[in-house]
Chains A and B, each alone.
Chain A
Amino acid sequence: DTGVSQDPRHKITKRGQNVTFRCDPISEHNRLYWYRQTLGQGPEFLTYFQNEAQLEKSRLLSDRFSAERPKGSFSTLEIQRTEQGDSAMYLCASRGVGGNTIYFGEGSWLTVV
Chain B
Amino acid sequence: AQRVTQPEKLLSVFKGAPVELKCNYSYSGSPELFWYVQYSRQRLQLLLRHISRESIKGFTADLNKGETSFHLKKPFAQEEDSAMYYCALRSGGYQKVTFGTGTKLQVIP
Contact = CB atoms under 8 A, between A and B. Distances in A.
B3 to A, nearest CB: 11
Contacts of A33: 95, 97
How many chain A residues sit at the interface, stated as a range, is: 20 to 34
Interface string B30-69: 0000000000000111100101000000000000000000
Given A40-B101, A41-B101, A42-B101, A3 B43 contact: yes
Contact of B86 (A40, A43, A58, A101): A43
Contacts, number: 44
Given A42-B86, A42-B100, A107 B43 contact: yes
Interface string B97-109: 1111110000000
Given A40-B101, A91-B44, A101-B46, A55 B95 contact: yes
B99 A42 contact: yes
- A interface SS class: loop
Contacts of B43: 3-4, 104-107
Interface string A1-32: 00110000000000000000000000000010
